[in-house]
Structure 1
Amino acid sequence: MLPLTDATITTLFVNASRKEIADITLPGGFGDVKWDELDYFGWRDPRLARRAYIVVPVDGEFVGIVLKQSEASPRRRAQCTWCQDVKLPNDVVFYSAKRVGAAGRNGNTLGTLICDEFQCSRNVRKPVPPAYLGFDVAAATLQRIETLRVRSAGFAADVQRAG
């Protein structure tokens, strides 16, 4: 992922009001982000407990989305929709996003299960155990990275559709 600046990030949000954009708080350590190790950039708002943000590359452009975490917790351990890691070292939570335009203003949302601290990029880069003799671990890792990119971009594209 290409590096972003704090000034650039606030211009990318497609489903946010002016007030929500003005309230965006970047995470601590923003200047130390290793952009080349990320497939999307996500963080939880340090001031607003259930608000989070993601910036996802979609067709060569960055799309910012404001997320809201569900108040309910899953009864069972959930699997992240994006990285699909079966040995998650973290929790997975349900996030929803308002759709853009009139649909979002009318309450139309889209939801997904994502790693609670947006660790998907790290999860897909963990070496997978060989499934059989001759299994190509490097190719499997590249496939997991590509799948994460497709799923996160697909979510961002769906948020932008009128619904």
Structure 2
Amino acid sequence: MLPITEKDLRASFVNTSRKETADITLPTWFDDADWAVLDYLGWRDPKIARRAYAVVPAVDGGPVGILLQRAEASPRTRAQCSWCRDVKLPNDVVFYSARRAGAAGRKGNTVGTLICQDFECSRNVRKTPPLAYEGFDVEAARLQRIDELRLRAAGFADTVLAGS
């Protein structure tokens, strides 16, 4: 992900009101983020329970900021993250919903997905996968997982935008 300024980050949100955008609490590590190993920027709001944010590089370029709402209940079984699809997750996965952008969102239309609770997807896909068979190219598999994470996250952003 390319580095982003606070001003550009706030301007990227597509499903928030002006007040919600102004109330965004940036993560404490924002100024020290290692942008080279982030496929998207995601964090939970420390001040507002169950609120989270994701800023995803869109397929056509610019960032798309999405306000997310975590479900009150957790999945009953061990869920798989829809973005990183890591089968050996070291973290919890929760259901996040997002209002659609534009008129559809103002009417109450939402979309949802299962994501790592603390947005560890970028770290998860960079782990070296296990050797599937002799001659298996683990580096190619790791790079493919990174590309697929980027596409799935951008696809979710496109779904949020589809309502505008």
Alpha-carbon deviation of 1:23? Answer: 0.7
- State TM-score, norm by structure 2: 0.97
Aligned residue type for 1:85: D
Paired with 1:70 and 1:25, the residues of 2 have a C-alpha distance of: 20
| Cα-to-partner distance string for 1:12-47 (whole Å, 9 max, x where unaligned) | 100001111011000112111000101000010010
Residue 131 of structure 1 is matched in structure 2 by 132
1:20 maps to amino acid: E
> Distance in 1 between the 2:30 and 2:148 partners?
26
How many residues get paired? 163
Following superposition, the deviation at residue 162 of structure 1 comes to 2.0
Partner of 2:29: 29
Q: Deviations over 1:105-131 (max 9, x none)?
A: 111000000000000000000000110
- CA offsets 1:63-108 (integer angstroms, 9 cap, x no match): 0000000011110110000000011010000000000111101110
Q: Which runs of 5+ in 2 are unaligned?
A: none
| TM-score normalised over the length of structure 1 | 0.98
Q: 1:119-145: CA deviations, max 9, x gaps?
A: 000000000011000000000001100
Q: Distance in 2 between matches of 1:31 and 1:19?
A: 23
Give the % identical residues: 67
Question: What residue ranges of structure 1 are gaps of 5+ in the alignment?
Answer: none
Partner Cα separation in structure 2 for residue 2 and residue 57 of structure 1? 8
Query: Equivalent residues in 2 for 1:58-77 (5 A)?
Result: 58=58, 59-77=60-78
Q: Secondary structure at the match of 1:128?
A: coil
1:36-47 to structure 2, matched below 5 A, reads 36-47=36-47
CA RMSD for the aligned pairs? 0.9
Whole-angstrom CA distance in 1 between matches of 2:85 and 2:99: 23
**CA–CA distance in 1 between the matches of 2:102 and 2:3?**
28
